[in-house]
Amino acid sequence: MECMIYRGQAGQDRYGVMNRVYYKDAHGAVVVMDVSRERTKEGACRWKNDLDQKVLLADGSQVPAVLVINKCDLDVNIDEKNLKELEEENRFIGVVRTSAKENYGIDEAILTVLRRVLENEKKGRYEASFPNSEGNVRIGDDKRQQKKKYGGCC
pLDDT in tens, 138-150: 555 444 444 444 5
Task: For residue 118, give the CATH number of its domain.
Answer: 3.40.50.300
CB atoms within 10 A of CB 136: 13
**Number of compact structural domains in the chain:** 1
- Tell me if 57 is assigned to some domain: yes
Is there a domain that residue 6 lies in? no
Q: What is the chain's percent helix, strand, coil content, to nearest 5?
A: 35, 20, 45
**Residue 17 belongs to a domain:** yes
**Predicted local confidence at residue 138, as pLDDT:** 52
Q: Domain range holding 33?
A: 13-139
Is residue 147 one of the residues assigned to a domain? no
Q: Is residue 3 part of a domain?
A: no
pLDDT at 55: 86
Residue 96 within any structural domain of the chain: yes
pTM to 2 decimal places? 0.71
Residue 92 lies inside a defined structural domain of this protein: yes
Instruction: Give per-residue pLDDT as tens, 85-115.
Output: 999 999 999 999 999 999 999 999 999 999 9
The percentage of residues in the chain with a pLDDT greater than 70, rounded to a whole number, is: 68
CA-to-CA separations, 143 to 2, 20, 109, in angstroms, rounded: 21, 17, 33
Q: What is the pLDDT of residue 147?
A: 47
